[in-house]
Amino acid sequence: MSVMTVGFVGLGAMGRGMAARLLAAGHPVRVWNRSPGPVQELVAKGATAAAGLDEVYDSEAVVSMLPDDRTVEALLLDGALLAGARAGVHVNMATVSAALAEHATALHAEHGIGYVAAPVLGRPGVAAAGELNILAAGEAAQLERVGPLLAAMGRRTWHFGDRPVQANTAKISANFLLACAIESMAEACTLAEANGVRPTDLIEMLTGTLFPGPVYSGYGAMVAERRYEPAGFRLPLGLKDVGLALAAGEARNVPLPFGSVLRDAFLDALAHGDADKDWAAVAAVARRRAGLPD
């Protein structure tokens, strides 16, 4: 196995598990996070605390797992930071917009740094187990270079092309489909309950017949049981990803009629105080619209 020093930025619910997997695979890891608690957690597992982002970029490779465009832009797309970097490649594992992917690719190229997009499918427990599905795109040589890192964090790496934006677009499309699935299950469960059918019975039948698999069984149970905490993926992040899909569609003249419905449902959920709940809590909107009790 090829071992390289890794600078890891972003130790949230997903990043902590991913950094731990790199450590377990034998890679020396320098970690940086805006809050100190997760840093100390990883230091206890063998990581080194980076004093700043410049120290992170003194590694052979940088891996980042940040929540959105704004955070990536503010922390990592800094010309001075990249100009002084020793790192040969940055693996951005965040779900970001197509526009940011294009900008980040160009900026890294200006400074002679490889750039790979590698957003992931999976929740925090999956990340901690190293069972993520990783959607990757970038130059072939860079993908080969970071292959051992991706293998340490995921069960499988899916390649989508030589332009990083292709991986980000694939991830945006996947999350859009997940949001549609949650909304459709919410509406179906609401229809069933309004007519005297227990939602849990409906979901049990659907996942045992028409829709087997982790999406419908996992999110279906959360919807049917109205179990939205603890949040594996917070509702505001769901709204962000729906917005990314709508923006990507607008940029290419691709209508996404369901996207507008989803955006309004997520906004409704946020307006009713569900920001700290899992994005499956958007199902509560369908219940309210139907006049079913909380």
**Tens-place pLDDT, residues 150-176:** 999 999 999 999 999 999 999 999 999
Question: pTM score, two decimals?
Answer: 0.95
The pLDDT of residue 1 is above 90: no
> Which H/E stretch holds residue 139?
none
251-287 per-residue burial string, b: 16 or more CB within 10 A, e: under 16: eeeeebebbeebbebbebbbeeebeebbbbbbbbbbb
Both tokens of residue 169?
Answer: 């677009």
For 194, other C-beta atoms within 10 Å of its C-beta total 12
Both tokens of residue 154?
Answer: 């995921």
Q: For residue 294, what pLDDT band results from cuts at 50, 70 and 90?
A: confident
Q: How far apart are CA 239 and CA 131, in angstroms?
A: 25
Q: How far apart are CA 238 and CA 113, in angstroms?
A: 31
pLDDT at res. 246: 98
The whole-angstrom distance between residue 5's C-alpha and the CA centroid of its chain comes to 24
pLDDT at res. 2: 80
pLDDT at res. 96: 98
The catalytic residue among 45, 171, 240, 277 is 171
Per-residue pLDDT tens digits for 68-125: 999 999 999 999 999 999 999 999 999 999 999 999 999 999 999 999 999 999 999 9
277 flagged as catalytic: no
Domains present along the chain, CATH in parentheses? 6-162 (3.40.50.720), 168-289 (1.10.1040.10)
For 163, other C-beta atoms within 10 Å of its C-beta total 16
8 A C-beta contact, residue 156 and residue 134: yes
Amino acid at 198: R
* Closest to 178 measured CA to CA, from 132, 152, 215: 215
